Amino acid sequence: MSVPPYQGDDIPRNEIKSVDASRDELSVDSDAARLAEMGYTQEMERGFSKWTLLGVSFALTNSWFGISASLVTGISSGGPIVTVYGIVIIAIINGCVAVSLSELVSAMPNSGGQYFWASELSPKKYANFLAYTTGAIGYAGSLFTCASVALAIGSALMGMIQLNHPNLYFSLFFLFFRVIERWMVFVAYQIFNLFAWVFNCWGKILPKIGSFFLYVSLVSMITITITVLATSSPKQNARFVFANFVNNTGWESNAIAFIVGLINPNWSFACLDSATHLAEEVPRPERNIPFAIMGTVAIGFFTAFIYSISMFFSMNNLDELVFSSTLVPILELYYQATGSKAGATFLEFMICFTGLGCQIACHTWQARLCWSFARDRGLPGSHLWSQVHPKMGIPFYAHSMSCFVVALLGLLYIGSTTAFNSMVTACIVLLYISYAVPITLLLIKGRNNIKHGPFWLGGFGLAANIVTLIWTLFTLIMYSFPYGKPVTAGSMNYVSAVYAVVFVLVFGYWFLRGHRTFRSKDERVVEAEHLTNHIPQASN
């Protein structure tokens, strides 16, 4: 169908919308046909648009929220400059990650994302094993991410209570508490996890929720930035913000301290693959998903960079942030700036509300990853997790099971905050590993030996692939260093232990059962032939 270009007011805008809707309807038909060629049936409704997809993608990554939630790491390991310059460094690196993912999803749009690409790009002999391993590692990373976001919001909620009621007694079964304890944060953690479960149970409203929280995030960031800048006095000088290095880690090497501090901005740009797992819920995914991924990085950089600089200019007492009784440094910063508990609480509430959108998007992401992986029989009980609920329009069982696992992971926080923090670090690196596998296979196969999608950057894409692989190796090694010295049981980085547990579970299941049950590429080819012979061809 040929559509004439828009010329001034010659064509009414309602007709333009009608044309766009017709395009999407035609696209849905061709998208379903292309999906059948991959060996899958169209089970999910393509209810997301380009902009609602961007909303969900950014609501999850939400870089400025991530900076707020993990501010203490950067403050102790480098001070303001590790956050300010770290955002620039991480944004450039994750721009390369975004380009790499965008090229792959544009060429092979499938909800399986990384593990599907690994299967398609691998030599036949290793395809099943590499696809399964990539999918399992990516799913583990998504669960850890959900847990980390729930903890960030739960900690913020309890911090607000502590700020406003420092002498309030908490009572339970005739026991009284005057300080925030870990079990209280754990309860808040479970509440937000439950909220995210509820909101994700209605598939038709998820696109609207995504758009809504995109605006919530941007409005919150602008409101907080303006308020803090306007009320804080005196302001810090430029030297404090751009040249003040703080090393309270105990590491003699400032370089190591800086690298440890990079975990803060790195966590703030994680989960860029989220949009790829909605490939079967958006029309023209080969174009719309790269737009969402690249847009997420661009918006994330500008909001996080402006926000962090504004916060550091408004900071008064660095030590009070690090040792705040609320255990929430950004809340203490708001209190320093406004001089008002009510004002600081309101600003922190905006952070919590933004975080709720992040948590909802987190569960949207991990539910789709679980569902698509189960569709290829990658998990125990896959026959259940691979079902799409006919009324809700979502993979309800996969979503519920994943939320339950996230709830269980919260128990680790009660046992050891250090171990839980190591799991947060692991979520970053595990996701990078899941990206690195298909990127490595792409380079081995040859970038020009696959059919390119509309998003393809040639030589720049090759450079982005190489940067992504180098950074993955770098984080795997350097993020395993202890957070501080001297190393004690309380300051140890247990991320290597987290890796060990994940890989034991992943490889253990593969050798015990997965190698027999995981759906092979050959099976998908047979299924594709069957499907393409029994569906009507999309009109052009």
- In CATH, which of 3.40.50.300, 1.10.490.10, 2.60.40.1260, 1.20.1740.10 is domain 45-518? 1.20.1740.10
Backbone angles phi, psi at 314, to 5 degrees: -90, 0
297 close to 94: Cβ distance less than 8 angstroms: yes
What are the residues facing 171 on neighbouring strands?
176
Alpha-carbon separation of residue 498 from 151, 419, 495, 518 (angstroms): 18, 8, 5, 25
Decide: helix, strand or coil at residue 137.
helix
Q: pLDDT per position in the chain (540 positions), as tens?
A: 333 333 343 444 454 444 344 454 555 578 888 888 888 888 888 889 999 999 999 988 889 998 887 765 567 777 788 889 999 999 999 999 999 999 999 999 999 999 999 999 999 899 999 999 999 999 999 999 999 899 889 888 888 888 887 765 554 444 444 567 788 889 999 999 999 999 898 878 888 888 899 999 999 999 999 999 999 988 889 988 898 887 777 777 788 888 888 888 888 888 899 999 999 999 999 999 999 999 999 999 999 999 999 998 998 877 777 777 777 888 989 998 999 999 999 999 999 999 999 999 999 999 999 999 999 999 999 999 999 998 888 999 999 999 999 999 998 888 777 777 788 788 899 999 999 999 999 999 999 999 999 999 999 999 999 999 999 999 999 888 887 777 777 667 888 889 999 999 999 999 999 999 999 888 888 887 877 776 555 444
Backbone angles phi, psi at 77, to 5 degrees: -115, 60
Domain boundaries, the chain: 45-518
275 close to 56: Cβ distance less than 8 angstroms: yes
170's enclosing H/E stretch is strand 170-172
- Structure token pair of residue 231: 């009320």
Tell me the torsion sign for CA atoms 276, 282, 285, 287.
negative
Stated length of the chain? 540
Spatial distance between the Cα atoms of 139 and 132, rounded to a whole number of angstroms: 11
Q: How many CB atoms neighbour CB 497 within 10 A?
A: 14
